[in-house]
Amino acid sequence: MITLNGETLRIRDVVHIARSAPGEVEVRLSDEAKTKVQRSRTAVEQLIAEERVAYGITTGFGAFKDRFISRDQLDELQRNLVLSHAVGVGSPFAPDETRAIILIRANQLAKGFSGIRVEVLEFLLELLARGVYPVIPQQGSLGSSGDLAPLAHLALVCIGGGEAIVEGERMGGGEALARVGLTPVVLKAKEGLALLNGTAVMTAVGCLATHDAEVTTHAADIAGALSLEAMEGTGEAYDERLHLARPHPRLIEGAHYMRHLLEGSEFLRKRDPFRVQDAYSLRCLPQIHGSVREAIEYAKWLLSIELNSATDNPLIFVSDETGEIDVISGGNFHGEPVALAMDYLTIALVELANVSERRTNRLVDAKENEGILPPFLTEGGGLHSGFMIVHYTAASLVSENKVLAHPASADTVPTSANIEDHQSLGTIAARQAREVLNNSATVVGIEIFAAAQGIDFRRRRAGRELQLGVGTIPVYALIREHIPFIEKDEWMQPHVLKAKELVLSGAITRAAEAAVWRHGHSSDGERLPLSEE
């Protein structure tokens, strides 16, 4: 069970709930959160009774901030807000992203500064429990004032409009609610604004992408280790002394991990005065992958804060001592923190795929690997193309990544009669990070696929079962459990997709890390850089 209080939700909780079946994990509001939410709601009702001017509660929105709304029109104001703002376009978010959006918005509102009723928050949690997936189009958010358009599509289903998916069937929002025994909500003052005005969409997409990026980066370490073995590389570049001389924490962790993955490997070459060092894509792996990890750690840190932040406007503060109500307008909805973190993550993932593709290129190019492996990893070159076009796919994806790497946060556009004159475009940044992540996971999967082929050729040429490293033994076995050695040309796409699946599912990482920990996990007692997610 996960209890929401607006303070302690973690990325791992988001991933777990987003990727669980409806009702599999119970999610509820804490009693403390209910108390805070109710106090905020009582404050809204007092403001209305006193006919105080309060933005979005008794006034219009955006450029209409100076239009006072009469008491008998306040419910209509909130309904109109939802209807007019639900103008997203494009394909809808995936089910796991939709579940994450609902969860995060509920948790952000549970902080108790938004003036929404407890029953509306509990309604959001019922959507999760009963498997109602509002159809939320991916395009249309400027990232300030939060994710207005996509969150309006979530709110639209809550009031019985829009569209939703239940048990795989797409239908009207009202029909979807009726199908699972829910009655549409009638929004009261401030509630439509509270649902729409926040960063839940960019944060949800960012959390899932960041989790998957961490898993993929660990898999890239393992792919690099297998490639090093397949090409008879040296492990000297991972010497602890070398990395302590440049003590960036993630670089040290990465080298430490590589040493343990490769421990006991017979595939690595002994010291050779004519082959002193390997190409950068192998030799500099801790420096490159470690830098990617830094970007991931930053994203995790930032998103962990954003998950538990009140991100709508205005916020309502009630003094514990005097009971005085302050309605403060500000900019907590502005997605700039998330936008910059997601752009940083995107650029890091571009680099992760770039260096992985370079290692794959060395695996398939006999000149680059000094003839250790046959051209394109096939004995029948000419008649068979082997891994030639598999590498093309990796090359295509890294090129596409570079197109997607333009920072979304570098752009802006004024809206709402220039009142909202700077936008974060944080949701675009998060979506780009997710796209680059998916491309990069495929590239890493291709490298693992090719490296396993190279391992088989090394063993054939040695005439015996050369021993792999402690951490690469189970990964090679896992690959061969799902993907065969390619003796002659066959349909390669299913193997590429399976390799990507093994990367993103975490199966590659779990196989390696379990073996390393069983082996004693470290000769020096240090903890390996395992994903806490």
Neighbouring residues of 100: CB distance < 8 A, sequence distance ≥ 6: 14, 15, 17, 18, 204, 205, 207, 208
> How is 432-479 classified by DSSP, letter by letter?
HHHHHHHHHHHHHHHHHHHHHHHHHHHHHHHTS-----TTHHHHHHHH
Beta-bridge partner residues of 317:
326
* Six-digit token string for 42: 């009582």
Q: Are 359 and 336 in contact (CB under 8 A)?
A: no
- Find the angle CA(105)-CA(106)-CA(112) to the nearest 5 degrees: 105
List phi, psi (to 5°) of 55: -55, 135
Q: How far apart are CA 497 and CA 390, in angstroms?
A: 11
Helix axes 200-230, 95-109, angle to 10 degrees: 130
Which stretches of 180-272 are DSSP H helices? 191-196, 200-230, 240-244, 249-261
- Find the angle CA(266)-CA(270)-CA(275) to the nearest 5 degrees: 125
Please give the positions annotated as active site: 55
Residue 235: CB atoms within 10 Å: 22
* Six-digit token string for 258: 């590589």
Q: What is the DSSP letter of 527?
A: P
